[in-house]
Amino acid sequence: MKRLAVYCGSASPTDPVYIDSARAVGRALAERGIGVVYGGGRLGLMGAVADGALEAGGEVIGIIPTALVSAEVAHRGCTDLRVVETMHQRKQAFTDLSDGFINLPGGTGTMDELWEALSWAQIGYHAKPVGLLNVAGYYDHLIAFVAKMGEVGFLRPQHQRILIVDDTLDGLLAQMAAHAPIETITKMRKADL
C-alpha cells in the first residue's frame, strides 16, 4: 500500500486520546512510507493526522472543497493540497488516489465517507481494503450494528468481511495488507442476490 485515505473528524474532542491517536497514525504511516490522502483540513483529528505525517517526513495529499477553503480551515502545509468543488469529487479523489481506507473517529462526514467506501466495495466500484481503527472503543456500537445487518440479512454473508476492524494500527494494517477482494454485487448471479 503506497497511499491510504484516512477519514476522521475535524473536531477536537476533550479526551486527548483521539487527537493523540490521529497524530500517531499519521506519523506511523509516514514512517512506513505510506502516503496520507485526507480531507485537507487543519483542525481536529484531520489536522493531527496531517501534522503527524508531515513531522515524520511523509507525503500528505489534502482534498478539500472550495467552501471549506473559504472558511479558512485548509491545511496549507500539505505536500499537495487539491481543491475540488463538491464533496462527491472529494470522495472520488480519495478513492482514485489511495490503495485503501482507514477510518478514525469522527462525526457525520466521517460516517458518510466510511459508508460510501463500504458500499462502493460491495457494488464493485473498487476492490480496496476498508479499515476501521477502533480507538478507545469509539466504534463498538457501529461494529455491533454491522453485525446486526448481517444477522438480519441486510448484509450478505460474502460482504460481511468488507469492514476490517482492529484496535491497533499495526493489527489493522496487517489485516488490510492481507485483504482479498470479495464477490461483488455486480459479479453475483441473480439467484444469489
- pLDDT one-digit tens code per residue, 51-71: 999 999 999 999 999 999 877
Average pLDDT estimate for 146-175: 92
Structurally, the chain folds into a number of domains equal to: 1
Please report, rounded to a whole number, the percentage of residues in the chain having pLDDT higher than 90: 82
pLDDT at 182 over 80: no
Q: pTM, whole model, 2 decimals?
A: 0.92
Region of 33 on the Ramachandran plot (φ > 0 left; ψ -120 to 50 alpha; else beta): left
**What number is the average pLDDT over the span 15-20?**
98
Band (pLDDT 50/70/90 cuts) for residue 163 is very high
Q: pLDDT digits over 25-41, tens only?
A: 999 999 999 999 999 99
**DSSP reduced 3-state for 10:** coil
> For residue 110, which amino acid is it?
T
Residue 124 CB burial class (10 angstroms; 0-12, 13-18, ≥19): middle
On average, the pLDDT of the chain sits at 93
**Please, which pLDDT band fits residue 155 given cuts at 50, 70 and 90?**
confident
Determine the Cα–Cα distance for residues 175 and 166; give it in Å rounded to an integer: 8
Its domain, for residue 19, covers 3-192
pLDDT surpasses 60 at 102: yes
What is the domain-level CATH number for residue 114?
A: 3.40.50.450
Where would I find the H helices in 32-133?
44-55, 66-70, 87-97, 108-123
Helix and strand counts by DSSP (H, E) for the chain:
7, 7
pLDDT at 192: 60
C-alpha cell at 31: 514512517
